[in-house]
Amino acid sequence: MSRQTTFLLVVALLGLTAAGGVFETGTDSVSAPQQVSSARALLDALDPEQLERAALSFEDGSRLDWHYFPKQRAGLPFSTMGLKQRTALQALLRSALSEVGIYKANAIIALEDVLREMARRKGRDDPSRDSGLYTVCIFGTPGPSRPWGWRVEGHHLSVNLTLIGEAVVGTSPAFFGVSPAILPFGPNAGMKLLDAEEEIAHSLVDTLNEKQREQAIISDTPPGDIIIGPGKSLPEKSTGILASRLDPSQRALLRALVRVYANNLRPELARFDLQRIVEAGEDNLRFGWSGSTERGQRHWYRIHGPTFVIELDRTQAEPGHVHAIWRDPNRDFGVGPLRAHLQQDHRSEPDNNR
């Protein structure tokens, strides 16, 4: 095990120890006034033409049209933004993402330049590999009471936040992908991205005994990509080994792995997601694996519980092409809380037919 991997595991396990061996719990809701102020500051920094592209109706169909492929997207492209506007954009991202989440997001965006240079070294140019093609959208009006949301998205990144006033009601789908997973050249050559997402999962698989592996390993051949991508419904049930069939040290690794994904968000948002997992029952989690158990080779895994589904797929061997996603059956785009909010609004409206 590398020193970097050992450090990641120690940090994750120390966090669990501080929480008494389980996820920390928090409140039943998350207030995020900084998201309102940050979104307003970004909109205020835009000129009228930019504002027309960035500010969309909450009912706009593109709010639910997310993807992680290079393609034409709704919203304001980064290439059209100046320094002041990009600074406001970073503040918006920081209103939702942790320091590690910001690092990952910006590294993924910067990888577009690496991919373009890799194409050039093979004798071709690829204009689709361009960090300026990432876009930002504000859906609805950031304010004290109405539903609104925002998205930052491009190749290999989709950050989606949904709010009712200052209350965050959805932080998914959340997609982080990298290609290459290990930088092949330049001053940061050899640096790994999304390393913890893979290494802790490998460490868990390494500890499984023969009977546990029979339950956890679904197939020797991984799927070609994540299964719960755009337009795909989430599974009601999943295969793999139940958390209740793992020993305490294995359960700690599973918790640490879930934390890696949750901790892409600011601490208060991560605590909320982890609290929901605890309340739904950690014993209900399942861990399933397909593909090679050798590091650096193609594999896929899923962690599935009542309140979330995580998937990671390494679609290529070294230097690697990795897709990782967190989705929530009740809170993708805030669907469940928004439905409840709408029903509450209808109950509170006067009956004008009386």
Would residue 352 count as lying in a domain?
A: no
Would residue 183 count as lying in a domain?
A: no
Would residue 180 count as lying in a domain?
A: no
Would residue 44 count as lying in a domain?
A: yes
Query: From CA 258, how far away is CA 304, in angstroms rounded?
Result: 10
Indicate whether 22 and 35 sit together in one domain. no
Indicate whether 195 and 318 sit together in one domain. yes
Indicate whether 304 and 194 sit together in one domain. yes
∠ at Cα 239 (12, 28), nearest 5°?
Answer: 50
Q: Pick out the chain residues at pLDDT < 70.
A: 1-29, 345-354
In single-letter form, the type of residue at position 322 comes to: V
Would residue 182 count as lying in a domain?
A: no
Query: From CA 288, how far away is CA 190, in angstroms rounded?
Result: 29
Indicate whether 20 and 55 sit together in one domain. no
pLDDT at 150: 98
Chain centroid to Cα 350, Å, comes to 41
Indicate whether 313 and 195 sit together in one domain. yes
pLDDT in tens, 53-69: 999 999 999 999 999 99
Name the one residue in this structure whose structure tokens are 């997001």: 105
Indicate whether 138 and 253 sit together in one domain. no
Would residue 48 count as lying in a domain?
A: yes
Q: What pTM did the predictor assign? A: 0.90
pLDDT at 324: 98
Query: From CA 49, how far away is CA 150, in angstroms rounded?
Result: 18
Which backbone phi and psi does 296 adopt, to 5 degrees? 85, -5
pLDDT at 2: 43
Indicate whether 132 and 88 sit together in one domain. yes
Could you give the number of structural domains in the chain? 2
Containing domain of residue 67, as a range? 31-170
How many Cβ atoms from other residues are within 10 Å of residue 192's Cβ? 19
Would residue 181 count as lying in a domain?
A: no
Positive or negative: CA dihedral 119, 225, 171, 265: negative
Nearest CA among 51, 149, 45 for reference residue 88: 45
How many Cβ atoms from other residues are within 10 Å of residue 194's Cβ? 21
Indicate whether 159 and 266 sit together in one domain. no
Indicate whether 67 and 196 sit together in one domain. no
pLDDT at 88: 98
Indicate whether 21 and 78 sit together in one domain. no
Indicate whether 143 and 224 sit together in one domain. no
Indicate whether 215 and 102 sit together in one domain. no
pLDDT at 173: 98
Would residue 127 count as lying in a domain?
A: yes
